[in-house]
Amino acid sequence: MYNPYLKRLLDIIVSFLALIILSPVLVPVMLLLLVTGEREVFYFQKRVGKGNNFFHVWKFATMVKNSPNIGAGIITLENDPRITKIGKFLRQSKLNELPQLINVLKGDMSIVGPRPLLQKSFKLYPENVQEVVYDNKPGITGVGSLIFRDEERIVAQSENPQATYESIFPYKGALELWYHKNISFLVDIQIIFLTAWLVLFPGSNMAYKVFRNLPKREFK
């Protein structure tokens, strides 16, 4: 069963402990960003959150300044030239997502939930998905994050990146609807485990083995 109070308690405990435990990683990354690339540590971006309201997500800065207004815009491609050298490592390792632990501690986000999107991307969801997807807080990880870990590669290899980016949203929406219908403490724990598993084994399809009733992905 889903208990929002238990979920919030888990979020507070996990995010607080994670910030402490990961400080030996977070502090060196912050110092490295201060002396390399664009010399910016954090990147703040307005995203759609719970109740379809906006909030600012925290991330480590991985791209050149004003990147949404140059190149591929809101679409990030594999080997995107706007990504800094240190930013490429942070994105591949997913370390760039760790500052979102602050969003979780503040209550903007959860450890597990639908990914927070830019408004332009949110509008690509079918209407039935837009209506319910953020009944729950957006998450650092989630079923969409597990299945679309290779999204940048998929879009980059396409002849028409914009069209491909838009075409995957019905499936993304189906995944988020699955989470909306199946949300539970156990499912959240399984997603956290799978997130760690995919960091170690990025090519694994373990998510489909754990969640056998997931909507099937029909493209590579």
Q: Could you tell me the pLDDT band of residue 63, with boundaries at 50, 70 and 90? A: confident
133-189 pLDDT per residue, tens:
999 999 999 999 999 887 777 777 878 888 888 888 999 999 999 999 999 999 999
Model pTM? 0.85
Note the pLDDT of residue 36.
82
Which residues share a beta bridge with 139?
A: 110
28-62 pLDDT per residue, tens:
999 999 988 678 899 999 999 999 999 999 999 98
Hey, what are 4's tokens? 């929002």
Report strand pairing: 110-112 vs 54-60: unpaired
Question: Around 131, how many Cα atoms within 13 Å sit in the side-chain half-sphere?
Answer: 3
**Res. 14: pLDDT tops 80:** yes
User: 185, 99, 198, 100: which is closest to 146 by C-alpha?
Assistant: 198
100-139 pLDDT per residue, tens:
999 999 999 999 999 999 999 999 999 999 999 999 999 9
Q: Percent of the chain scored above 90 by pLDDT?
A: 61
Hey, what are 67's tokens? 């990147």
Q: Distance between CA 158 and CA 149 in Å, rounded?
A: 16
**Res. 220: pLDDT tops 60:** no
Hey, what are 15's tokens? 């995010």
